[in-house]
Structure 1
Amino acid sequence: MNKTIEIIGAPSAFGQRKLGVNLGPDAIRYADLVARLENLGLEVNDKGNVKSPAIDMQKYRSEQDGGLRNLPEVVEFCETLCNEVDQTITAGKYPLVIGGDHSIAMGTISGVKKHYDNLGVIWYDAHGDLNIADSSPSGNIHGMPLRALIGDGHPDLINIGGYKNKVKTENIVLIGMRDLDEGEKAYIKEVGIKTYTMSDIDRIGMGQVIEETLEYLKETDGIHLSLDVDALDPVETPGTGTTVPGGISYRESHLALEMLHDSERVTSMEIVEVNPLIDINNKTANQAVELLVTFFGDKLL
């Protein structure tokens, strides 16, 4: 990789109800992210954290409003993040966004898509994040970003960045699925999103999953990797808000990221949902850094 990696902190907690995920970007920094990347011979620029709206605790903890909790704050944050990502790519740098809850993906990908005609997305996660307000059991917007990016949902969410329909359903691959709401299952079947559940990974192995993913996305002109640390088994990454047992192993994840690095086709990345307030000795942030340095080229030999 010959581009400067530009780190953009995205400290949003508005997409869910557990404070602490907004501290995720700094927890990842404290785990020596910049130094580890520079040790690979990479040029790194840390832009700092995107400015976030203030958290009104009474509102933050209140019941959902029309099925969309903290909608104005999520939209404001994502619009700001979209602009930051757009500027990074315009400057010829590689955007690495560190979150923050997964609602930030609406901002990240809205900024990325301005530079690609046929963007592919790898959604590495335990969850599909394909809800709309009517199908969401919680009203948490971090369960809706991918559906909004496709172009379904509240107008304020689907029009972040000033346009909609950022990602085509045929350009999405879901990896690590093991906790899908009924509405998400129906939607995946209806539109035919390429999906690898944990059962699929167990059956064919992570290596084949990544090979098939890259082949499936061969017509795209860029690929964005959106990695939620809850894709991994909570034994590996306990410091995240929506843990689901039986996840991807640490070693399987390193293999996936090694292969994605070697493909030279992933043009932007974000890592989300690290929550140091519910972590154990910053273990999840440290694991996140290990995954990131693997993705950017660290190898044993």
Structure 2
Amino acid sequence: MRHFMIIEAPSNLGLKELRPGVEPGVKFLPDALRRHGFARETGISQVINVPAPPYTMDIDPESQIRNADGINSYSQLLAEKVCEAVKKDIIPIVIGGDCSILIGTALGLRCTGGHYGLFAMDGHHDYMLPAHSGTAGAAGMGLAIVSGNGHPKLSDIHELCPYIEEEHIYAYGNRELAPAYVQLITDSQVTYHDLPAIREKGIHTITTEFLTMIGHSGLDGFWIHLDVDILDNNIMPCVDSPEEGGLSYMELEDTLAPLIASGYFRGMHVTILDPTMDPDDRYTRTFSDQLAGILRPAVKGLTVR
């Protein structure tokens, strides 16, 4: 039976302000899921919190990334907890936070001394460099950074660049399809499936190919990045950069269930859900219930279809 824990990572350092003087509310997601009994519903008893530095709008002149020094420091703190858990054969479920926590979780995997894959579920591909970013936010650059692209302040912490090799990454779910935006990732070695490709190729085929790649590459396992903006905007509007369309909750389960059931699964993180955009709590509560239901069989050691 596998052992799980929750790591709360309430960082919003990778995003710009929602509007002048209002910092992103993604840092409140751990509190919101705790209020909805997420740990209890999944059957996870161990929960720790990694407090994040205060939010600023500062852009680091050296890297041209917002809050780069704070993200560097926080990534090391988060990496320490992830590394410790994985070395003990505990599966961390990390609750963010914005997508810049990918830097800390990927660094944590690399600090174990192993080599890992990444299944990145996101309504955007996040394979950006500062020159292409309109926000200077690391949340939109995470996939590039962890695969060794970008300023070493974030991409080469502890001289461990890259934390995850591009050829071991699947980017899944992008639906911002402007050619100039998409070209950045299609020119890389990342395996890229946008939303139309998922619908055409099929979820089962893609997840099976990913798991086969992990096995054939001799990796030590893989991590899941889950940005909730991969979900259809009608069922998850509480995000900073909404796009039309997206996955249904059934499609989310069809994607996650076989990955989480795999013996190669080493952990995941959840990002971008902003409870301050959900005044009556209905979207956050539904998400908490849905994700808990997906995780529960693995936590309890039950057989998954």
* Length-normalised TM-score, structure 2: 0.87
Q: Deviation per CA, 1:98-154, whole angstroms, max 9, x where unpaired? A: 000000110011102223533110000011111111121221110111111111111
- 1:265 Cα deviation (Å)? 2.2
Aligned to 1:273: 272
2:12 match: secondary structure: coil
Aligned to 2:50: 50
Equivalent residue for 2:155, pick from 134, 140, 158 = 158
- 1:159 Cα deviation (Å)? 2.1
User: Where do 5+ consecutive residues of structure 1 fail to align?
Assistant: none
Aligned to 2:230: 231
Aligned to 1:132: 129
Distance 1:230 1:185, change over 3 A: same
Q: Which amino acid aligns with 2:254?
A: L
Aligned to 1:214: 211
1:126 match: secondary structure: coil
User: In the aligned structure 2, how far is the partner of 1:152 from the partner of 1:244?
Assistant: 26
1:226 match: secondary structure: strand
Equivalent residue for 1:30, pick from 25, 31, 35 = 35
Instruction: Give yes or no for contact 2:214–2:221 (8 Å, CA) kept in 1.
Output: no
- 1:15 Cα deviation (Å)? 0.4
2:80 match: secondary structure: helix
Q: Which amino acid aligns with 1:51?
A: P
Distance 1:229 1:161, change over 3 A: farther
Identity of aligned residues (%): 26
- 1:164 Cα deviation (Å)? 1.5
Instruction: Give yes or no for contact 1:128–1:180 (8 Å, CA) kept in 2.
Output: no
- 1:183 Cα deviation (Å)? 5.8
Equivalent residue for 1:205, pick from 202, 206, 213 = 202
Q: Given the alignment of the two structures, is residue 105 of structure 1 paired with residue 117 of structure 2, yes or no?
A: no
Instruction: Give yes or no for contact 1:261–1:296 (8 Å, CA) kept in 2.
Output: no
Equivalent residue for 2:118, pick from 100, 116, 121 = 121
* Length-normalised TM-score, structure 1: 0.88
2:198 match: secondary structure: helix
Instruction: Give yes or no for contact 2:127–2:144 (8 Å, CA) kept in 1.
Output: yes
User: In the aligned structure 1, how far is the partner of 2:101 from the partner of 2:108?
Assistant: 11
Aligned to 1:192: 189
Instruction: Give yes or no for contact 1:107–1:161 (8 Å, CA) kept in 2.
Output: no
Q: Deviation per CA, 1:240-259, whole angstroms, max 9, x where unpaired? A: 21211111111100111122
User: Where do 5+ consecutive residues of structure 2 fail to align?
Assistant: 19-23
User: In the aligned structure 1, how far is the partner of 2:171 from the partner of 2:113?
Assistant: 20
1:134 match: secondary structure: helix
- 1:88 Cα deviation (Å)? 1.9
Q: Which amino acid aligns with 1:27?
A: A
Aligned to 1:14: 13
Bigger shift: 177-186 or 123-132?
177-186
Aligned to 1:174: 171
- 1:195 Cα deviation (Å)? 1.1
- 1:227 Cα deviation (Å)? 0.5
- 1:296 Cα deviation (Å)? 4.1
Q: Deviation per CA, 1:172-211, whole angstroms, max 9, x where unpaired? A: 0011111267665233232232111111122133222222
User: In the aligned structure 2, how far is the partner of 1:106 from the partner of 1:92?
Assistant: 21
User: In the aligned structure 2, how far is the partner of 1:169 from the partner of 1:140?
Assistant: 21
1:157 match: secondary structure: helix
Q: Which amino acid aligns with 2:114?
A: D
Distance 1:151 1:276, change over 3 A: same
Pairs aligned (count): 291
Q: Which amino acid aligns with 1:37?
A: T
Aligned ranges 1:259-270 → 2 under 5 Å:
259-270=258-269
Aligned to 1:87: 84
User: In the aligned structure 1, how far is the partner of 2:125 from the partner of 2:108?
Assistant: 21
Aligned to 1:288: 287
User: In the aligned structure 2, how far is the partner of 1:235 from the partner of 1:64?
Assistant: 36
User: In the aligned structure 2, how far is the partner of 1:123 from the partner of 1:116?
Assistant: 21
Bigger shift: 104-113 or 88-97?
88-97
